[in-house]
A = this chain, B = another copy of it.
Amino acid sequence: MSQAAENATPHRAPTMADVAQVAGVSHQTVSRVLSSHPNVRDTTRAEVLRAIEQLGYRRNSSARALVTRRTLTLGVVACNPTLFGPASTLFGLEEAARDEGYMVSAVTLRQYTASALEDAIDHLSNGGVEGIVVIVPKREAVAALAGLRLPFPVVTVEGGHDLPIPGVSVDQDLGARMVTEHLLAGGHPTVWHVAGPQDWLEAEARIKGWRATLEEAGAEVPPPLVGDWTALSGYRAGQELAGRVAVGSARRRSAPVSAVFVANDQMALGVLRAFREAGLSVPGQVAIAGFDDIPAAEYFAPPLTTVRQDFAAVGKASIRLLLDRVESGATRPDERVVIDPQLIIRNSSTPS
């Protein structure tokens, strides 16, 4: 009557000892086979492999981690998925980590406060990560990071290079210069700017590059409008700008709008809509450029001139930097990787 109970899968996963018994060797030999130790006779190895196959054995990662002190897991803290950059970076990074044999545990942030970041890191820490990549390009968050004493290495992505934390970033300043120069080269007296949120390092760097380029060219520096990366905020900024095109504003306080560098493609999309609704032609009356080169950018109306960032490279580089620390104990806090962006010229800035 208790047959069923007896046969009922007690379902304790097979252990190394089980395999050893089936193969008629010691558990240590099994271990050796699994870690491809050279000194195992071929016949023995085959025997063991057969037993493993037969039992469907898998090494217990926790036991392994316990004794080797290596979890082979890295953590990533990232933000909102509707942002193209972080998502792409995350994916590139995971691929690079996997190639190196590491797992990647991700934590996403809804808010970018210092405390949310600390919670996220705490969570990863509980998960036993050996190091983390932080993709939270906000000034406040990165500063909080510097204050933490963590038992594992940290690498930032787009975290700025003011703090003694190693990091990877795309040269935002350069990107902004390239776009701005490109627009100026189109013969516009100056270039307006729709910036990202104040406390984002990327937004700041893009403003900086834009401003510097204008100043170097001796062009007037109009006051930048500020958005929040969303298309909606770009739309609002676009409405504002539309009133100043060509004719200039009534009180002629600042240069008329004939070229606009928008700090990301989403906002540029909003600007395009606002201009369209205002009956302005792009690039006829106003030239526009964005930043990011999201997949859709090529199909905007008109196709958007923008700056492409190689996020896969960013991800890969951040893993490289992190593993240098995790595996080789590298420790230089001032190591940086800067990746050059690429200007993609499309129809929104150049009459075809």
Query: Assuming A128-B60, A298-B231, is B103 touching A123 (CB within 8 A)?
Result: yes
Interface contact A269-B299, CB-CB below 8 Å: yes
Q: Which of A62-70, A154-162, A173-181, A209-217 contacts B (4 or more CB under 8 A)?
A: A62-70
User: Which residue on chain B has the smallest CB distance to residue A93?
Assistant: B108
**Residues in B neighbouring A127, C-beta threshold 8 A:** 61, 72-73, 103
Copies of this chain, count: 2
Query: Which positions in A face B, CB cutoff 8 Å?
Result: 13, 56, 58-63, 65-66, 71-73, 80-82, 87-88, 90-91, 94-95, 98, 103-108, 110, 123-128, 149, 151, 230-232, 234-235, 266, 269-270, 272-273, 276, 294-296, 298-301, 303
- A31 CB to closest chain B CB (Å) equals 15
**Residues in B neighbouring A13, C-beta threshold 8 A:** 151
Other contacts beyond A90-B106, A103-B124, A105-B105: 7, CB < 8 A = A59-B126, A72-B127, A91-B108, A235-B299, A270-B299, A272-B299, A272-B301
The residue among A80, A231, A272 with the most chain B CB atoms within 10 A of its own CB is A231
Interface contact B73-A81, CB-CB below 8 Å: no
Interchain CA distance A110-B125 in the complex, whole Å:
29
User: Which residue on chain B has the smallest CB distance to residue A271?
Assistant: B299
**Residues in B neighbouring A87, C-beta threshold 8 A:** 81, 87
**Residues in B neighbouring A303, C-beta threshold 8 A:** 273
**Residues in B neighbouring A151, C-beta threshold 8 A:** 13, 56, 58
**Residues in B neighbouring A230, C-beta threshold 8 A:** 295
Interchain CA distance A301-B296 in the complex, whole Å:
12
Q: Which of B66, B81, B126 contacts A66, CB < 8 Å?
A: B66
Interface contact A66-B73, CB-CB below 8 Å: no
Interchain CA distance A110-B98 in the complex, whole Å:
13
**Residues in B neighbouring A149, C-beta threshold 8 A:** 56
**Residues in B neighbouring A234, C-beta threshold 8 A:** 299
Interchain CA distance A300-B235 in the complex, whole Å:
11
User: Which residue on chain B has the smallest CB distance to residue A61?
Assistant: B128
User: Which residue on chain B has the smallest CB distance to residue A102?
Assistant: B127
Interchain CA distance A73-B65 in the complex, whole Å:
14
Interchain CA distance A103-B74 in the complex, whole Å:
12
- A51 CB to closest chain B CB (Å) equals 17
**Residues in B neighbouring A300, C-beta threshold 8 A:** 269, 301
**Residues in B neighbouring A88, C-beta threshold 8 A:** 81-82
Query: Assuming A58-B151, A125-B58, is B272 touching A82 (CB within 8 A)?
Result: no
**Residues in B neighbouring A62, C-beta threshold 8 A:** 62-63, 65-66, 71, 128
- A276 CB to closest chain B CB (Å) equals 6
Interchain CA distance A56-B150 in the complex, whole Å:
10
- A291 CB to closest chain B CB (Å) equals 15
User: Which residue on chain B has the smallest CB distance to residue A106?
Assistant: B106
Interchain CA distance A62-B94 in the complex, whole Å:
22
